[in-house]
Amino acid sequence: MSKTNARLHRRGFLKSTFSAAGAAVLAPTIIPASALGLGGTVPPSERVTVGGIGIGNRGSYDLGCFLEQKDVQFTAVCDIKEARRIAVKKQVDSLYGTQYCSMYQDFRELLDRDDIDAVLIATGPNWHATAAMAAARAGKDMYCEKPCTKNIAQSLILKDTMARTGRIFQAGTQRRNLPHFAFACELARTGKLGKLKRVYAQPRGMTTLMSGWQPAEPEPEKNVIDWEMYLGPAAWRPYNANLLDGFNFEKGGGFIAGDVRTPNIGGGLLEWGSHCVDLCQWAVNDCPPPVEYNPPKDGQVLTRYESGIELVFRDDGWIPLGSCPVRFEGEDGWVEAGDSGKIVLSSPTLLAGRTVEEIGGYPATFHVRDFLDCVKTRAQPKGNAEAACNAHIVCHAANIAVLLNRKLTYDPKTNEFVGDEEANRLRSEALREPWRI
Amino acid sequence: MLMVRHVSRAARFLAITWLATLVTTQTGFCQSDLPTTEPELLAILTGDAPPARKALACKGLAIHGSPAAVAELAKLLTDPQLASWSRIALEAIPGKEADEALRKATESLEGNLLIGVINSIGIRRDVGAVELLTARLKDQNSEVADAAAIALGHIGGGDAAKALQESLASAAPSLRNALAEGCILCAEQFHANGKATEATALYDQIREADVPKQRKLEGLRGAILARGDAGLALLAEALQSEDKRVFQMALGTAREIPSKEVDKALATEYGRAAPERAAILIAVMADRPETANSALILKAAGPGPKPVRLAALAALGRVGNENSLSTLLDAGLDEDAEVVAAAQAALGSLPGDGINQEIVKRLSAADDNLLRLLLETIGQRRIDAIPELVKALDHPEQPVRAAALIALGNTVTPQSLNVLIAQAVAPKLADDGTAALAALKTAAVRMPDREECAAQLAAALNRGAPAAKDAILEILSEMGGPKALETVGAAASGNDPQLQDTGSRLLGKWSTQDAAPVLLNLAKTSPSDKYHVRAIRGYISLARRFAAMPEPQRLEICQNALDVAKHPADKKLVLDVLQLYPTVASLQMAIRAREIPQLKDDATAAALTIAGKIKGNEEQVNEILAKAGLGKKKS
């Protein structure tokens, strides 16, 4: 208990050291021209100051997209791993020719800074929702990697919190800002395919399991790896280096692997579903989540919207168009798109005179740009909280149907499964103390 | 717990496997024998099982537990390692027993464990806990008091709200943030339940209180929304605020209210705002297409402050109409490149049924600059205006002709493709040759009948100038398909040195498998070593690039390449392919390749690599290796 009590006084600690934290940043003797908006750069008053929380593999990619934007001033990094903190600071300071980038081990210290407008949250999925909600309460806009939530309850709270706090939230569903995916979704949404019948998403199985309670190993120095912060809202377990893969740790709460009898379905529903299903949701005009979820059959998980449109998770049967494919079928035509940047259509007339190359695909930078523009105008970005909420609910609900291996009926108005207490109990999960969302 | 008793065997099995996966790792620690009935799970909790097993039993009880499990779960609330697992079950199990256990636990816990329990009480929205939580608002530990305030906010209702409001009036600064958040949460519930008066009072209190800025902003938003139409005055006031964050919250809130009165408020504020703010206000207007003040936006798109103009031009692309066309065309001819780009983008997306017709109509009276812009817009919007575009090809100004060619590239149909082919093969003016070929390429790759288009291009090949011939072959290569392949293949094996060169180069990077026989034939028959190398490498690359190619087809290509390739370096490329797709058959081919003198060492190394990559078939692989005198597969 003494250790527990010792952690209680963080706020007092922060209050007494906040100014010191600021002072820890080396004050430059010469302010570079870039900081003054000279030399063609964006003046400080028009920049969005950004801090990064959890900058690992994916975060580094996101960070690169942010640093490409001239109106971004990246000012601080937080990571539970010392090596990552140092690496990001070095990268950022080198780019700006300054020593401004501050380092933090506890993201709450970063959020306490009044001079940061927005944060990039690229921790492992275990932390996404908790950190996002804390950021919103602290008045920060955020770009948050996916999967954004661990269960249905978190998805709903995410949407409500962003609305209540008036924060701009962009889920890391960058395909919403890729022209070829947007085009495919538009064909479906605007009736160009005729009456929409079926949309397909590829969950892409994940067989590596990295959660659980493993034998205790000697815990590294807190300054090197802060295990307490790494666990964060996840239920307690001892340190074990195998669990340090943030990408897989506690993804989707207890659903990391789903039904192990069908290794292609499970946690993957959330990992890739948060992309593919998100696009399917866009194709159906971001309507409420499906009302019917069926257990796996013949390699597919079939769900059905209230309108009768089917959303099908399947791993096989795709045209080879790269990862994260989607397919939309209407009465008059179909379209399929994937990460290769290519689109295949039932008829070239759907292109309306354009070419696939002309429509274009990557880079993913568009998504970051969309976010930054919305930070300034307060418009809703493409991967906004409501869209992310619905897409994640679809994945979580499908995961529960897989887990329970039975058909479930979901009521999007009450956000409850109809007549299935077990399914309803799986909609949320307590967070470890003292965390909340 | 009727539901628990009725859980199917299948569901129980699945629950077992699910729970097992929670402890399944790459290192193989697994507890697949975890039971799924409540008594058995409880037995784990009461026995001397290790903590890991007890933790998982808690997860099991989250699904299968009933009030009967509460007492044992509650005992774990004092355990720093298992408390969080226990609360997973206690939060999920319905009934007053869990509520009472959590409340009881608050009496003895402290620190983070207490906070965790208070958080769970809040999530369960236990109305019976309001009194104890109210008392905790005065806890010496400020983080416990914070948690109590948030929990009260989640529970909501008159009593919780009253407790929070009263505490806020006299609270220490350190607690005000959480109290304010609790009040906001209560107000939100009031509003959702139709109690606007209560909601408004709470929101107003937070707006006026000495609490962090973010909470005040949340109060502001709530106060506007809860008031309905009466909140518009507050919105207008916020839109005028010099405080950037208040202004930003107003911008977001304005988008949440459908009333047309909001558009009036936006227009009023626009009239007195500085350019940077005015530009953002226009962005808000554009997000309200049903009620947007299009006249205001249209005026803003004319000459004036640049940020405002750019925002208005972008807005017209979404909410403009036929009346916007002249303004956009004027902007499209502006001297400022950013204005021009914004106008062009808007011209491309400008909504309105009569827009396309009007654009074509304006061609006849346009001066050179406007004509160019109109032609560009025709191409951008894919307007069917072939006669007008063809006519523009005779215009004396090259930029106008170039715009017409680009537009033709975007709009010609199979029936009018010959217009572009003629321009590409023999342009009326030499200056137009490059633009015509670019336009032809644009058109060709989007033609619905690829074969018909390829046939037309093949027929034109003989008519063109040398540069045009190369370009046509390039276009055919981009298009692909049987006719294109046939034409490029014929060029590569023909008598014209230039076409041989271009054709063999394009063939060598052909992107479909049907090029295999053409490439093999060229590799066999070409008298030129240069073209032979291009062809054989292109041929081998087909086997390398297509992972889904059936194995017999891949092996046939590999064998043919080994037979036909003249140079050892090219034969070695075959070994690379075999290693990339390791199978028993590819192993056997690599072993046979050892008989080629220049390849013996490389083929031996390749065979061993392939053997190491093959999964399964140990016995057969070792037999093949032994027969070749290569020992055994390395494990």
- Same domain (yes/no): A227, A241: yes
pLDDT of residue A337: 95
- Same domain (yes/no): A69, A109: yes
**In B, which residues are within 8 Å of A404 by CB distance?**
11, 14-15
Beta-carbon separation of A137 and B214 below 8 A: yes
Q: What is the mean pLDDT of chain A?
A: 85
**In A, which residues are within 8 Å of B222 by CB distance?**
164
In a domain, A420, yes or no: yes
Measure in Å the smallest separation between the Cα of B442 and chain A Cα atoms: 8
pLDDT per residue over B440-464, tens digit each?
A: 998 998 887 889 999 999 999 888 7
B34-38, B495-499, B590-594, B613-617: the lowest-pLDDT one: B34-38
pLDDT grade for B402, boundaries at 50, 70 and 90: very high
DSSP assignment of B417-448:
HHHHHHHHHS-SSGGGHHHHHHHHHHHHTT-S
pLDDT of residue A326: 96
Measure in Å the smallest separation between the Cα of B530 and chain A Cα atoms: 32
**In B, which residues are within 8 Å of A428 by CB distance?**
91-92, 123
pLDDT of residue A361: 66
State the amino acid at position B420 in one-letter form: L
- Residue A206 pLDDT more than 50? no
pLDDT per residue over B329-379, tens digit each?
A: 999 999 999 999 999 999 999 998 899 999 999 999 999 999 999 999 999
- Residue A6 pLDDT more than 70? no
- Comparing CA positions, the residue from B466, B462, B457, B463 lying closest to residue B485 is B457
**In A, which residues are within 8 Å of B15 by CB distance?**
403-404
Q: Provide mean pLDDT across the span B88-116.
A: 97
- Same domain (yes/no): A226, A334: yes
- Residue B475 pLDDT more than 70? yes
- Residue A33 pLDDT more than 50? no
Sequence-separated (6 or more) residues with CB below 8 Å from residue B476 = B454, B457, B458, B484, B487, B488, B506
- Same domain (yes/no): A81, A222: no
Q: Provide mean pLDDT across the span A182-209.
A: 85
Alpha helices in A284-382 (DSSP H): 356-359, 365-377
> What does each C-alpha distance from A285 to A188, A282, A411, B217, B393 come to in angstroms?
9, 5, 18, 31, 43
In a domain, A186, yes or no: yes
Q: What is the ipTM of this complex?
A: 0.89
pLDDT of residue B21: 39
Which of the listed residues A120, A153, A174 is the one where a domain comes to its end?
A: A174
pLDDT grade for A21, boundaries at 50, 70 and 90: very low
B17-31, B35-49, B149-163, B616-630: the lowest-pLDDT one: B17-31
pLDDT per residue over B153-176, tens digit each?
A: 999 999 999 999 999 989 999 999
Sequence-separated (6 or more) residues with CB below 8 Å from residue B343 = B313, B328, B329, B331, B332, B334
Measure in Å the smallest separation between the Cα of B125 and chain A Cα atoms: 13
User: What is d(CA B371, CA B34) in angstroms, rounded to the nearest whole number?
Assistant: 78
pLDDT of residue A44: 77
Q: Provide mean pLDDT across the span B409-416.
A: 91
> What residues make up the domain containing A141?
2-174
pLDDT grade for B34, boundaries at 50, 70 and 90: low
End-to-end CA distance of chain A: 24
User: What is d(CA A100, CA A89) in angstroms, rounded to the nearest whole number?
Assistant: 9
- Comparing CA positions, the residue from A104, A130, A80 lying closest to residue A18 is A104
- Residue A312 pLDDT more than 80? yes
- Same domain (yes/no): A170, A253: no
Task: Check residues A412 and B446 and name the one with the higher pLDDT.
Answer: A412
- Same domain (yes/no): A157, A258: no
pLDDT of residue A252: 65
- In chain A, what percentage of residues exceed pLDDT 90? 64
- Same domain (yes/no): A140, A184: no
Residue in B3, B84, B222 closest to A433 by CB? B84
Best mutation target among B21, B34, B143 (most A Cβ atoms within 10 Å) is: B21
In a domain, A376, yes or no: no
User: What is d(CA B512, CA B484) in angstroms, rounded to the nearest whole number?
Assistant: 12
Domain extents for chain B? 539-635
Measure in Å the smallest separation between the Cα of A377 and chain B Cα atoms: 6
C-beta separation of A136 from A161 below 8 A: yes
- Same domain (yes/no): A165, A208: no
Residue by residue, what is the 3-state secondary structure of B38-64? HHHHHHHHHCCCCHHHHHHHHHHHHHH
pLDDT grade for A320, boundaries at 50, 70 and 90: confident
pLDDT of residue A360: 73
C-beta separation of A36 from A106 below 8 A: no
pLDDT of residue B446: 81
Which of the listed residues A154, A174, A194 is the one where a domain comes to its end?
A: A174
In a domain, A367, yes or no: no
Q: Provide mean pLDDT across the span A212-221.
A: 90
Total number of domains constituting chain A: 2
Give the CATH number, domain containing residue A159: 3.40.50.720
pTM for the predicted model, two decimal places = 0.82
- Same domain (yes/no): A308, A417: yes
Which of the listed residues A146, A174, A202 is the one where a domain comes to its end?
A: A174
- Same domain (yes/no): A11, A50: yes
Burial of B172 (0-12, 13-18, 19+ CB in 10 A): exposed
pLDDT per residue over B421-445, tens digit each?
A: 999 888 888 889 899 999 999 899 8
Q: Provide mean pLDDT across the span B81-108.
A: 97
pLDDT of residue A205: 57
- Same domain (yes/no): A285, A350: yes
- Comparing CA positions, the residue from B484, B552, B549 lying closest to residue B518 is B484
- Residue B635 pLDDT more than 70? no
In a domain, A33, yes or no: yes
Q: Provide mean pLDDT across the span A93-103.
A: 94
Q: Provide mean pLDDT across the span A322-347.
A: 92
- Same domain (yes/no): A18, A107: yes
What distance separates the 2 farthest-apart alpha carbons in chain B?
98
